[in-house]
């Protein structure tokens, strides 16, 4: 059995993001930009054009990982992000959030007065939308 990981090292106006599995990182400012790519069977189907992103969200194998910490296969991706201007929000989360909370709700959370308020609202939304998985959220507002 393995686990997923998403992490960020943020310094000034730069971030280094890493992930393995299906925990994700997003950059939220005027838009929601997904930074990481899932390591999953379903993501491979999307990458190969066999299903759409919309179909991936409902696919019965959406939780089957192709890479994880402690799993048979391990891969870690590294991303360098330099957000420009404004007050960007980095959102790191487990699939218990990303599978249930949409981009419009992420944008609304980013407008809250603090990172703590944003994180609490996102967790509330995940459970309101029926998440029955771990809901882990870290929010950083620059």
pLDDT tens across the length of the chain (142 residues):
679 999 999 998 899 999 999 999 999 988 999 999 999 999 999 999 999 988 998 899 988 999 998 888 889 999 999 987 777 899 999 999 998 999 999 999 999 999 999 999 999 999 999 998 889 999 999 7
Q: Check: CATH 3.60.40.10 for 5-141? A: yes
Decide: 38 and 16 in contact? Cβ < 8 Å.
Answer: no
The phi-psi region of residue 113 (left if phi > 0; otherwise alpha if psi is between -120 and 50; otherwise beta) is alpha
CA distance 130 to 141: 27
- Which pTM does this prediction carry? 0.92
Decide: 4 and 67 in contact? Cβ < 8 Å.
Answer: no
């Amino acid at each position: 059995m393995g686990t997923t990981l998403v992490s960020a090292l943020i310094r000034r106006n730069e971030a280094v993001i890493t992930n393995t599995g299906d925990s994700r990182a997003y950059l939220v400012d005027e838009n929601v930009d997904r930074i990481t790519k899932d390591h999953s069977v379903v993501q491979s189907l999307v990458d190969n054009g066999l299903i759409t992103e919309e179909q991936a969200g409902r696919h019965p194998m959406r939780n089957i990982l192709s890479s994880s910490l402690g799993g048979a296969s391990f891969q870690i991706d590294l991303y360098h992000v330099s957000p420009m201007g404004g007050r960007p929000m980095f959102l790191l989360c487990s699939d218990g959030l990303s599978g249930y909370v949409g981009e419009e709700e992420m944008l609304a959370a980013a407008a809250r007065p603090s990172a703590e308020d944003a994180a609490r609202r996102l967790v509330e939304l995940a459970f309101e939308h029926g998440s029955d998985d771990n809901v882990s959220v870290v929010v950083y507002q620059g």
